[in-house]
Amino acid sequence: MDQFKDIYDKGKMAIIHGVGFENSPRSHFRAMDIWHTCETNKIGTDGWIAKVIRDLDPTGENVLKGVNFGPKGCPEP
């Protein structure tokens, strides 16, 4: 954080509070899907865990790479 403070003190950085988008849903998780995909009608299905799993087995040699318990993505509002 010290590096950020130095930049801020020099007047080269600003903090913008309350950034969001119009008609945002009440669900944090649905809102994150919208932020990550930039689409209000798309459910995010690929997160950081999926990317790590792909990196761990880039050639697809293993049949079982990961296990998910629960719903896929978030339900539409």
Task: Write the pLDDT tens digit of every residue in 24-37.
Answer: 888 888 888 888 77
Domain enclosing residue 33, as ranges? 27-58
| Residue 1 included in any domain | no
Question: Does residue 33 lie in a domain region?
Answer: yes
Is there a domain that residue 45 lies in? Answer: yes
Q: Residue 3 falls within a domain, yes or no?
A: no
Is the model's pTM score more than 0.85? no
Minimal CA–CA distance to 77: which of 19, 18, 33? Answer: 33
Angle at 36 between CA 30 and CA 39, to 5 degrees: 75
Q: 2-22 pLDDT, tens per residue?
A: 888 999 999 999 888 888 888
Say how many domains are in the chain. Answer: 1
pLDDT band of residue 73 (cuts 50, 70, 90) is low
* Burial (CB count within 10 angstroms: exposed 0-12, middle 13-18, buried 19+), residue 4: exposed
Residue 54 within any structural domain of the chain: yes
Q: Look at residue 21 and tell me if it is in a domain.
A: no
